[in-house]
Amino acid sequence: KQEVTQIPAALSVPEGENLVLNCSFTDSAIYNLQWFRQDPGKGLTSLLLIQSSQREQTSGRLNASLDKSSGRSTLYIAASQPGDSATYLCAVNPGRRALTFGSGTRLQVQP
Amino acid sequence: SAVISQKPSRDICQRGTSLTIQCQVDSQVTMMFWYRQQPGQSLTLIATANQGSEATYESGFVIDKFPISRPNLTFSTLTVSNMSPEDSSIYLCSVEDSPNYGYTFGSGTRLTVV
């Protein structure tokens, strides 16, 4: 059974810092991996999707990497802003089935 | 990418009653997924809904408690039946948009049972 772990569980940083969120998964047979953002009490917003054949994806200040063989992904946020404060969720897709989610990293960026 | 309209966005319900949550997708999709997110927790899959067949439920979730309808390829409902305070959660529906876009989620239904 696939298990997804996210470290750290919570993170508080001052504005402007670069930061890295970690995601690990136990079964490397994945179709792709997706990073989401969730604001309190809200739904999920997709940030980045990495296919199993890719190493990284970038969108603005966000960069996500994938090392499928070692079961790891990282989300890098450059020059963090207070508006980045949210919970970040990593989810793996086994292929044409539901996603398996990590427990999330709760990020607070202090102005 | 697909757009999902989920209703209601929130509700406060009395214990023992039922609430039906609706999800409308702006394109035809084969599978729709229903998740529960308990306070402070991550998402847990309730069931997978395919059009024209019964939903497939995950361990710990049963049809009598969470009946699901999937009348066509763009619409699904989840009912939370005979509610108790332990059912207070955010409920979300999701579809696989495409292999290139990944999965899209509805905006969620925040349910409080009193």
Q: Which of B99, B103, B108 sits opposite A42 (nearest CB)?
A: B108
Is there a contact between A32 and B106 if contact means CB atoms under 8 Å apart?
no
What average pLDDT does the segment A50-79 reach?
Answer: 96
* Distance, CA of B46 to CA of B64 (rounded, Å): 13
Q: How confident is the model at residue A60 (pLDDT cuts 50, 70, 90)?
A: very high
- Interchain CB contact of B33 with A (< 8 Å): yes
Contact status of B2 with chain A (Cβ, < 8 Å): no
Q: Under a CB-based contact definition with an 8 Å cutoff, are residues A37 and A105 in contact?
A: no
Segment A18-39 shows an average pLDDT of: 95
CA distance B17 to chain A (A): 22
**How far A42 CA sits from the closest chain B CA (Å)?**
6
What string of pLDDT tens digits covers the 114 residues of chain B? 889 999 999 999 999 999 999 999 999 998 999 999 998 889 999 999 988 888 999 999 999 999 999 999 999 999 999 999 999 999 999 998 877 778 999 999 999 999
Residues in chain B with CB shorter than 8 Å from the CB of A34 are 102-103
Taking 80 as the threshold, does the pLDDT of residue A24 lie above it?
Answer: yes
Strand A44-51 and strand A56-59: pairing? unpaired
